[in-house]
Structure 1
Amino acid sequence: MSSYSIEQFIERTERKGRPEEAFGLQSDRILEVELAGDVWAKMGAMISYTGEIKFERERALEHGVERMFKKTFTSEGGELMKATGRGNLFLADQGKRVTVLELGNRQLTVNGNDLLAFEPTVEWDIELMRKVAGMMSGGLFNITLKGEGKVAITTYFEPLTLSVTPDKPVYTDPTATVAWSGGLTPEFHTDINYRTFLGRGSGESIQMKFEGDGFVIVQPGFETE
């Protein structure tokens, strides 16, 4: 059915009640935060809210001098905003699928493009990817999150989680790599040869190599820019 009466459309698309948790999914592609304080989110991710909520761009010294220098001199760190107040906040990112993860005092490193929001109880820092900066335009922006609290990540379509074991390393395309578990430190593996320079390579000349014990989350689609 491609056409609806106004009443049918409202019934089909209206909000179906609140999520079971204050930081949960309204749908597969929309995060709803029942705000009673503050939350950190990706700049521009707000699509709607109710109540009294104020939005503030992350200030230069919001999280200390060291992190400010990382953002300034490495082009690392996407823009964050802090939402403060009371009400219901709805967040989304270009229709990407949203997954909410409870850290449970574990560590997770997330590609900055795929980080939607996290609770203020979560500790975070910018992960410097110096090696890849010289291989890829602009390098990669990653954030390491740890402690207690919820984190919302986004993926193009259904994510895939791959196990990494000491005897079985995992290789991924950097632009398809969403996140990986604490304890894993990726190395950058290059496959540059004569055919690559002639433009006849597969296009997969740079890969991330994960060794150790943990997991990697990848997505089947990614930005092409």
Structure 2
Amino acid sequence: MAVKSLKEFLAATQEKDLSSDAFELESPYMLEVRVDGRVWAKSGAMVARKGAVKFTREGVLERGVGNLLKKLATGEGLRLMKAEGQGRVYLADMGKKITLLRLEGDSVFVNGNDVLAFEDGIDSQITMMRKVAGMMAGGLFNIRLSGQGIVAITSHYEPMTLPVSAQTGPIFTDPNSTVAWSGTLTPEVVTDISLGTLLGRGSGESLQLKFAGEGWVVVQPYEEVTFQTKP
């Protein structure tokens, strides 16, 4: 690896202003948010800030009673914070790769652990997979994001998108590797009894998500365990 002078290092790592959007990637792992009003972000994701920006945890009933009840039912949930004011905020999440999605009236479901930030104009609703909740401690929760604006999601390494259609047939994924899917799809939780018997009762592969219809699903080359199996 070539040794850089201090001047070269500072020039290479200096923040960039290449876009007029509120969200801009400083690197594949660092997001700059230009706050002018309010933005929602994953709690604890801030690594730096400048300007008059105030951070507040999401209120108990801020996103409605329905979201609160689903959080209580699952015993978990995406912890959000509000960044309000004027300034710049820099966000990251354990070195995970960040992808920016611009929603134009679309909707997308994202694994609750993979939501990094979204603009204030985006509507967010918690959804829960009931069958998983019955089999796993805490269940599996997701966030439905819809409307107009930019959403930042994260993944371990490079994500891969699989198209889902009647021609391709259903797609089966590991819940711990599933990052997001189109709002047109409703996954079904299925259990592979033979695989579970072969690999042992605690095998994550015995529990899968089945996607059928028309849309797409995003997976990552990593199994991110966000819940544990019941004994």
TM-score normalised per structure 1: 0.92
> Could you say if the C-alpha distance between residues 194 and 15 of structure 1 is closer, same or farther in structure 2, counting changes exceeding 3 Å?
closer
Letter in 2 for 1:11: A
| Alpha-carbon distance in structure 2 between the residues aligned to 1:213 and 1:220 | 23
- Which ranges of structure 1 fall in alignment gaps of 5 or more residues? none
Shift of the alpha carbon at 1:50?
Answer: 0.9
Q: Which residue of 1 aligns with 2:189?
A: 188
Q: Is the 8 A contact 1:19 1:26 kept in 2?
A: no
| Alpha-carbon distance in structure 1 between the residues aligned to 2:105 and 2:197 | 43
1:165-180 to 2 correspondences below 5 Å: 165-167=165-167, 168-180=169-181
Q: Is the 8 A contact 1:176 1:220 kept in 2?
A: yes
Shift of the alpha carbon at 1:24?
Answer: 2.0
Letter in 2 for 1:179: A
> Could you say if the C-alpha distance between residues 194 and 154 of structure 1 is closer, same or farther in structure 2, counting changes exceeding 3 Å?
closer
1:137-216 to 2 correspondences below 5 Å: 137-167=137-167, 168-193=169-194, 196=197, 199=200, 204-216=205-217
Q: Root-mean-square deviation (CA), in Å? A: 2.1
Letter in 1 for 2:189: F
1:11-160 to 2 correspondences below 5 Å: 11-160=11-160
Deviations 1:191-221 (A, max 9, x none): 1238727739975111100010000011112
Secondary structure of 2:104's counterpart equals: coil
| Alpha-carbon distance in structure 2 between the residues aligned to 1:130 and 1:159 | 26
> Could you say if the C-alpha distance between residues 194 and 108 of structure 1 is closer, same or farther in structure 2, counting changes exceeding 3 Å?
closer
Letter in 2 for 1:9: F
Q: Which residue of 1 aligns with 2:229?
A: none
Secondary structure of 1:149's counterpart equals: strand
| Alpha-carbon distance in structure 2 between the residues aligned to 1:64 and 1:185 | 22
Q: Is the 8 A contact 1:122 1:149 kept in 2?
A: yes
| Alpha-carbon distance in structure 2 between the residues aligned to 1:201 and 1:187 | 20
Deviations 1:66-121 (A, max 9, x none): 22122122224211000001011111111111111011101100001100001110
| Alpha-carbon distance in structure 2 between the residues aligned to 1:194 and 1:64 | 40
Q: Is the 8 A contact 2:174 2:204 kept in 1?
A: no
1:223 aligns with 2:224: yes
Which is richer in strand?
A: 2
* Paired positions, count: 225
Identity of aligned pairs, percent?
53
- Which ranges of structure 2 fall in alignment gaps of 5 or more residues? 227-231
Letter in 2 for 1:204: E
Letter in 1 for 2:67: R
